[in-house]
Amino acid sequence: MKLSQIYNLGKSQAELDFVDIDPSEDLPLFLDPFFLSIKKDNWSHEATLTLRSFFQQVIDLIRVNDEDGAKALFDHLHEPNVTCLGMSVGDPRGRGVGNQDTDKIYESLLRSRAIQTGLIRDIEDNILFVDNFGKDKLSDMTTNIITKHLIEYTQNQCRLNNIPLLDGINSGFYWDRYEGEWVSSHSQMLVYGDKKLLLVPKGIVSFSKDYTPDKYYNQFVLNFLQNENLRLNSVLVQRRSNGDRYVTKKSLKETNPQSKDFLRRFTQEHPEVLEQFKEETDVDSVKNIEISDISIGDVTRGLIERLRQMPAGSETASDYHNIIIGILEIMFYPHLINPIKEREIHEGRKRIDISFDNSAKQGIFRRLSENMRIPCPYVFVECKNYSREIANPELDQIGGRFSINRGQVGFIVCRQIDNFQLFIERCRDTYRDGRGLIIPLVDQDFIDILQNYTDLNSEFIETFLSDRVREIAIN
């Protein structure tokens, strides 16, 4: 049974920011530090810095021949079963970094010319160049190192979705980049039965098919070698009946069979191919990974029906809030992630209904920052389940949350606005006065978006939001 069912969330995977796990078995996904490293949001950035801190300390110790010090850093790597991700059969138990595996991984790192020559720069590069190192071990190591960040993420998601937390639970060891050592603490944690659980953002998990030595070898290294052999007119060049020259990958594999030793030697001579692999994987790989037995059409139709039946007023404000969070997750992911409910600012004197981390690499949320010069590392949402009209006080409320550091973009969500054009003009006045960009969304907007949504095409949402912003900022 998945967490969404255990805690009666009434949400599909599409409406959740975290991977909806089943605590009784592993889901065949891996926490992917490459996906983590290319995210633009603050949480991912901080977690990546922690990963790099650990790995850089390992490299530094190996390079100065402090083998005991380097090996000691591996003492707290273990088989994490707290995320329920991996390839176990039956109860989650991990198939990655076990006690014997840590010795093997360390020995491989110690012997690796890739470390000594500086070929490896990021922890995910180990999967390409270090023997006895695969996706499962990389995922397990990453989980151990960034446990503190995952605890904080889990706390935020549990509060967002009203999942109970237990106080005073031992966190286990995690890497503290400020102290440069493994530490542990006691904290609020998600516990189901007698099992600690850590939630993982769905934007940083992958199946074993993207940042892998197989893909690097077959789609980048061999492509490069084909072009090189054609350029040099080598003995591997053949001719078709029409005179066109070609080189088969089969012939290249026979002369340069895939191995991590070959990949190390090749990349040392042609580092630009590795850079190309990283850049193109960056563009192609970050997609919405949905793990659900329910079609997105069923999800959107269900949300529309619930929204239509939801009465306005304070008594149903929490239920309305919950529906809106799910809809916004569908609309905004993967551009806005890590939603947090009722974040306190100004020492608790003001609260923001929902805040999202801006992780956009393209689209409207990227253009707001780069083209319109509106700071938006976080995007705020105020939900008003009013039966009355909203007006200037509500605009002033969300505008009071803005700052240069937090961001100056927000949505005000409500059931309907009788004089919508007048409200747009008020938002326009706020924008022209330099007090931030406030974008109104009402029930009918959400219905239109959900009716036109597919998980393969976000063009309608992008066009809708762009038009709404243009209406406020330009007209």
Residue pair 73/81 in contact (Cβ under 8 Å)? The answer is no
Residue 390 pLDDT: 78
pLDDT at 252 over 90: yes
Note whether 268 and 300 are same-domain residues.
Answer: no
Enclosing domain of residue 91: 3-206
The mean pLDDT of 283-287, rounded to a whole number, is 44
Instruction: Evaluate whether residue 91 is within a structural domain.
Output: yes
| Residue 367 contacts residue 358 (beta carbons within 8 Å) | no
| Whether residue 275 sits in one domain with residue 395 | no
Alpha-carbon distance 241 to 264, whole Å?
37
Residue 89 pLDDT: 44
Summarised one tens digit per residue, pLDDT across range 430-447 is 999 999 999 999 999 999
Flag whether 262 is in a domain: yes
Domain termination site, one of 264, 285, 306: 285
pLDDT in tens, 368-387: 999 999 999 999 999 999 87
In this prediction, residues 97-109 reach a mean pLDDT of 62
Average pLDDT over residues 147-167: 96
Residue 419 shares a structural domain with residue 271: no
Same domain for 190 and 257, yes or no, is no
Geometric angle at alpha carbon 413, from 454 and 407, rounded to 5°: 95
* Residue ending a domain, choose from 257, 285, 313: 285
Omega before 334 within 30 of 0, i.e. cis: yes
- Average pLDDT rounded to a whole number, residues 207-236: 88
Which CATH number fits the domain that encloses residue 392? 3.40.1350
For residue 203, pLDDT beyond 60: yes
Contact assessment for residue 329 and residue 303, using Cβ atoms and an 8 Å cutoff: no
Residue 291: inside a domain = no
Q: 20 or 118, which is more confident?
A: 20
Give residue 351's pLDDT.
53
Whether pLDDT at 413 is above 90: yes
> Distance between terminal CA atoms of the chain?
51
Record the pTM.
Answer: 0.81
The answer to the question of residue 290 being in a domain is no
347: left (phi over 0), alpha (psi -120 to 50) or beta: left
198 and 218 together in one domain? no
Judgement on whether residues 129 and 249 belong to the same structural domain of the protein: no
Q: Is the pLDDT of residue 260 over 90?
A: no
For residue 268, the model assigns a pLDDT of 86
pLDDT of residue 330: 92
Quick one: average pLDDT of 262-290? Answer: 75
Say if residue 233 is in the same domain as residue 179.
Answer: no
Do 357 and 438 fall into the same domain?
yes
Within a domain: residue 239?
Answer: yes
The larger pLDDT score, comparing residue 283 to residue 357, is at 357
Amino acid identity for residue 255 in this structure: T
- d(CA 471, CA 198) in angstroms, rounded, equals 42
What are the DSSP calls for 358-408, one per residue? E--SSSHHHHHHHTS----SEEEEEEE--SS---HHHHHHHHTT-BTTTBS
Tokens at 34, concatenated: 């490459």
What is the per-residue pLDDT for 205? Answer: 87
Own/partner long-range contacts of 442-448 (Cβ < 8 Å, ≥24 apart) = 442/413, 442/414, 442/415, 442/416, 442/417, 443/307, 443/308, 443/415, 443/416, 444/416, 446/303, 446/304, 446/307, 446/324, 446/327, 447/304, 447/307, 447/308
Query: E strands of 193-309, at which residues?
Result: 195-197, 205-206, 238-239, 245-246
What's the sign of the alpha-carbon dihedral 159, 199, 358, 298? Answer: negative
Sign, CA torsion 187/193/195/201: negative
Is residue 268 domain-resident? yes
Judge if 126 and 182 occupy the same domain. Answer: yes
* Band of residue 240 on the pLDDT scale cut at 50, 70, 90: very high
219 in a structural domain: yes
> Strand, coil or helix: what is 169?
strand
**Residues 25 and 100 reside in one and the same domain:** yes
Q: Which two tokens stand for residue 380?
A: 């705020």
- pLDDT for 108 equals 65
Residue 157 has pLDDT above 60, yes or no: yes
Is the Cβ–Cβ distance between 326 and 15 less than 8 Å? yes
User: In this structure, is residue 395 part of a structural domain?
Assistant: yes
Interval 44-64: pLDDT, tens: 999 999 999 998 898 888 888
Radius of gyration of the chain (CA): 25
> Does residue 458 register a pLDDT over 80?
no
Which amino acid appears at position 331 of this protein? M
* Domain termination residue (choose one: 236, 258, 285): 285
Sequence-ordered alpha helix ranges (H) in 182-259: 213-216, 222-232, 249-255
Q: Are residues 41 and 190 in the same domain?
A: yes
- Residue pair 74/105 in contact by the 8 Å Cβ criterion: yes
- Who has greater pLDDT, 67 or 246? 246
Number of independent structural domains in the chain: 3
Q: What angle do CA 144, 83, 71 make, to 5 degrees?
A: 20
- Indicate the helix (H) or strand (E) that contains 432: helix 420-432
Lowest mean pLDDT among 95-99, 187-191, 255-259, 371-375: 95-99
In this prediction, residue 266 has a pLDDT band, given cuts at 50, 70 and 90, of very high
Same domain, 370 and 415: yes
